[in-house]
Homo-oligomer: A and B are copies of this chain.
């Protein structure tokens, strides 16, 4: 269970945009350089994010990308859903209740695990907004503090 490259870098790019001030924007080469990827690669990611409505872009000189809505309103769960469309599709459609479409009908001990995992991850990511990821402190201390913070946000209440 891991985060795909597309998920990771798509998210990173959005964080870059979330760090901008009002009216500012970033070009593909700028985004690419800040994240250590090629401009072509960044272009592909931004294309996806644009299609999905997270960012707007303007072409020509002085063009670039910027968030299309406030970072406070963008939840990580939405982003991930776009960057990795088939999170769940792949593992039996029974997630949606349609048991017949899964090869493992009648003999699938692990379906509850897959569904359960999907749900806790989705739940955790829905509690974090882009705005909560701004800032670029790098010391072990601040990073540790931040991890604790996210962790507090992430942990769901017991039912």
Contact = CB atoms under 8 A, between A and B. Distances in A.
A56 to B, nearest CB: 21
Interface in A128-146: 128, 133-136, 138-140, 143, 146
Count of chain copies: 2
A119 B8 CA distance: 17
Contacts of A115: 147, 150
Interface of A: 1-4, 7-8, 11-12, 15, 18-19, 34-36, 76, 80, 84, 86-88, 90-91, 94, 97, 99, 103-117, 119-121, 124-125, 128, 133-136, 138-140, 143, 146-147, 149-152, 154-159
Closest 9 CB pairs of A and B: A106-B138, A15-B109, A109-B133, A112-B150, A112-B147, A116-B150, A112-B146, A107-B136, A116-B154
9 contacts: A1-B2, A12-B104, A19-B109, A94-B143, A107-B136, A107-B138, A109-B133, A155-B158, A156-B156
Given A12-B109, A36-B104, A99-B138, 8 more contacts: A35-B104, A106-B138, A109-B133, A113-B128, A116-B147, A117-B121, A156-B158, A158-B158
